[in-house]
Amino acid sequence: MDEIAHGIDLVDCSRIRQMLRRHGERFLRRIFTAAERSYAESNRNKVEKLAGRFAAKEAILKLLGTGWRGSIAWTDMEITNSPSGQPKVKLSGRVAEIARQKGIGPISVSITHTADFAIASVVAAAGLRPRPLPLSPQRG
């Protein structure tokens, strides 16, 4: 039977501001993809946008049950937006591999933020088993 996997995270925006002051570009490149950085830069509330994406990445790691460790890269998770503005999750690298191994289906994400806090919640079907391919009719 399939299960629902869930992860949630809350980020204090002052923590992101502090990391930006201390580590600047190095922090941005380590945590966020080029698309995520570009999206944040195009908004007047850059820190809140970055905090929301950071919260989403933490929530994804909780959904997977791994936490951040070993060969997982923060940029193996990318939060983009659909044309309507809805956030979307893209996985790659080790994170995508772990998701496949655990039978995690597509991940839905919701992000909200204020000037002080950002929160993200992610859900996905878990324990999915590969479905067998339909057999082609045999020829006589």
Which positions are catalytic?
A: 62, 113
Choose among 68, 86, 81, 99: nearest CA to 36. 81
Task: For residues 36 and 90, give the distance between their C-alpha atoms in angstroms, rounded to a whole number.
Answer: 11
Write the DSSP symbol of residue 69: -
Separation CA 35–CA 94 (nearest Å) = 19
